[in-house]
Structure 1
Amino acid sequence: MSVSADYIAYLTELFAPLGRIRSKRMFGGAGLYCDELFFAIVIDDVLYLKVDEHNRAQFEAEGLEPFRYEAKGKLAQMNYYRAPDEALDSPALMHPWARSALAAALRAKK
């Protein structure tokens, strides 16, 4: 698993209107933070956004896949779902998805 610096720079610019965006290398990819809320992960240049019981159905209704990985020979899943491809090309389309992920991250923090 990896993540390119160019992709992280693009995502940082895409999410900049939402707050202070920073990335941190983790588990072979990167975590994205907005104003210190961990709201997204990037693995192999694929963006996954934070979900919980409040917004998961929105992602599933679009047919978006959860982030899965293998650990100790078993498939594990995290509360992050792939971002819609069409939203990656448009801040106007991405920001509602990102705000939903930020809300899930805020709920998880409490």
Structure 2
Amino acid sequence: MDRLDIEEMFSALGPVSIRRMFGGKGIYHQGRIIALEFRDEMLLKADAVSAPEFEAAGARRWAYEGKTGKPVNMPYWSIPEDAFDDAEVMAHWVRLAYEAALRVGK
């Protein structure tokens, strides 16, 4: 995704900053990381409060294979498909990501 696409996706929050990381991009709002773009997929931050909602919507949790061969679950989830066709639905998911980032900071 290019900068304009990312800014549009997160427009419900206001300005975001984009930084290169992990071979992808980190998306930040008000200094807190709220999403990662990795391997051409946008992944939103979630926590114990919001992860069940992501899971119920059919989103996938990002995991990678650790050194022991076991999966390491990360606090990032795919965006439910219906969000890509509806700005209000996308706004809901990006707000959940920001709320999770705020809770992590406490």
What TM-score, normalized by structure 2, do the two folds share?
Answer: 0.88
Gaps in structure 2 of 5+ consecutive residues? none
Does residue 1:48 correspond to 2:43, yes or no? yes
Q: Is the CA contact (8 Å cut-off) linking 1:19 and 1:35 kept in structure 2?
A: no
Does residue 1:16 correspond to 2:3, yes or no? no
3-state SS of the aligned residue for 2:48?
coil
3-state SS of the aligned residue for 2:11?
helix
- One-letter amino acid of the structure 1 residue matched with residue 87 of structure 2: P
Deviates more, 1:67-76 or 1:48-57: 67-76
Q: Which residue of 9, 20, 28 corresponds with 1:25?
A: 20
Q: Which has the higher helix share?
A: 1
Query: How many aligned residue pairs are there?
Result: 105
C-alpha spacing 1:11/1:90, structure 2 compared with 1 (3 Å): farther
1:67 alignment partner in structure 2: 62
What TM-score, normalized by structure 1, do the two folds share?
Answer: 0.85
Gaps in structure 1 of 5+ consecutive residues? none
**What is the CA RMSD across the aligned residues, in angstroms?**
1.5
2:91 alignment partner in structure 1: 95
Identity %: 38
- Report how far residue 40 of structure 1 moved: 0.6
